[in-house]
Amino acid sequence: MTRVMVSCGEASGDLYAGALADEIHRIEPDADIFGFGGERLRSAGARLIGDYRGFSVTGLAEALRVLPRSWRMLRRLEAAAAAERPSVFVAIDFPDFNFRLASAMRRLGVPVVYYVSPQLWAWRPGRMATMKRLAARVLVIFPFEAPLYRDAGVPVEFVGHPLVDLARASTPRAAFLAELGLDPGAPTIALLPGSRRNELRAILPRLADAARLIAGRVPRAQFVVARAPNLDASLFDPVAAPVFAGGPPLAIVEGRADDVIASSDVLVTASGTATVQAALHERPMVIVYRLSPLTYRLGKPLVRVDTYGMVNLVAGRRIVTELIQDDFTPGAVADETVRLLTDEAKAREMRGALREVRETLGAPGASRRAAEAVLRVAREAGTSREG
C-alpha cells in the first residue's frame, strides 16, 4: 500500500492538499494519506497528525512567537514518519517549516516532492541549493518557475495551477447577494483581508476606513468581506457591529471566497492566493499589504522583485495597482477602488490583462497531474529500494 505523508501550513495549502488527496485516492483508492493540514485535507480522507491552525503567520517577530509550537509539531511529525515509513513525502509551500521536515524525511530515506514551491526566485534565493539537496521532484504551478528550477539543476515539472479547477462560484451573484440581504443591482466591493491573524490585524482596520470613504463617493456602494476559515470572530471587529454601525451595507461571509469574488464588481485583496482567484474570475482588483515596520525593514533587502502581487508577477508587468506598506492608506484604497468602479475603460483593460494571466496558468487537471507525479516518485523510490 502506498503511504503518502503531506505537510501544509495555511488555508491555501490545505485547499491544494485536499484536492491532491482526492486525486491520489481516485488513482489508488487504498492509498494511506496522513500528515499536517486542515479540514480540507481531512475531508479528503487523510489522517491528521497535526492541525495547521495557529501556525501560519507573516513577519519575523510573529514567527518567533509560534516557534516553540512549531518545533513540537516537527518532532511529532518526524516521529510519525519514523513509525509509519511513508512511501513519499509531499511538502506544500510553508518553506521555513517544510524544509526542516523535508530534511528529516531525507534522513529516513523518504523521497521528497515539493508541490506549490516557495517563491525562491522572489526572495532568499540561497534556498535554491537547499531545494536541490532535498527534493526528488518539484511541482510548480506557475509556468515561469520551471526554467528557473531547471537551470539550477532541480528536477521540476510544471503541473498548472490547481485553482483553475477549484475557483468556481457555487451561487449566482443575484442569489448570493440576496441571501446576504444585499442589493444585487448595487455596486459591490469585495474585501479579502487575508487568512492569517496578523494580516487581519494590520489590514482590516484600514479596509474598514476605506469602505466608509468609498461609500461617501459611490452611491449605494455595498461590501462583502471574505472570512477565511478558523479565524477568531474578534479579528473582524473593525467591520462588525457596533464598530461599523452607521457604515455602508456590509456582510461577512466565511469559507466562500469564490462566491464573494464572483459577486463583486471590484475587490480589494491582500497580496496572496486571492489575487490568483480574482484573476480566474476576471475581477478588477486593488492589491494591498502591510507588515510590521521591523519585519518590512529587515526583509526588504532580501526581496529580488519590484512587485508583490502574483498576478503582476505572472503577467510580467504591473497590471494591478499595489498599495504596500506606507502606500497602503484608506484614502489610496478608496481612490483606486472608485477609479475601477467609475472608469469602465480602465476596468475593461484590467479584465483583459487578467484573462491573459488566466490563460498562462495551465489547463484544467493540475491536481490530477500532481497526484500522478507524486505516485510516480513513490513507485520509483520503491523500485530503487527493491533493487
Distance separating alpha carbons of residues 205 and 235, to the nearest angstrom: 10
Q: How many helices (H) and strands (E) does the chain have?
A: 16, 13
Q: What percent of the chain has pLDDT over 90?
A: 76
Mean pLDDT to the nearest integer, 367-385: 90
Residue-wise pLDDT for 145-167, tens only, equals 999 999 999 999 999 999 999 99
Which grid cell is 269?
Answer: 485583496
Distance separating alpha carbons of residues 92 and 109, to the nearest angstrom: 19
Question: How many Cβ atoms sit within 10 Å of the Cβ of residue 196?
Answer: 24
- Given this model, what pLDDT does residue 387 score? 47
- Report the predicted TM-score, pTM, of the whole model to 2 decimal places: 0.89
| Residue 198: pLDDT band with limits 50, 70, 90 | confident
Residue 92's beta-bridge partner residues?
A: 8, 115
Whether residue 309 contacts residue 271, with contact meaning beta carbons closer than 8 Å, is answered with yes
Whether residue 17 contacts residue 6, with contact meaning beta carbons closer than 8 Å, is answered with yes
Residue-wise pLDDT for 81-123, tens only, equals 999 999 999 999 999 899 999 999 999 999 999 999 887 765 5
Looking at the predicted structure, is the pLDDT value of residue 6 above 90?
yes
Is residue 222 classed as helix, strand or coil in its secondary structure?
strand
What amino acid is encoded at 202 in this protein? A
Mean pLDDT to the nearest integer, 179-192: 97
Distance separating alpha carbons of residues 9 and 13, to the nearest angstrom: 6
Residue-wise pLDDT for 323-351, tens only, equals 999 999 999 999 999 999 999 999 999 99
Q: Helix 95-107 vs helix 60-84: angle between axes, to the nearest 10 degrees? A: 30
Which grid cell is 249?
Answer: 451595507
What amino acid is encoded at 71 in this protein? W
At 154, phi and psi to the nearest 5?
A: -100, 125
Mean pLDDT to the nearest integer, 30-51: 96
Whether residue 56 contacts residue 9, with contact meaning beta carbons closer than 8 Å, is answered with yes
- Given this model, what pLDDT does residue 230 score? 80
DSSP state of 26: H
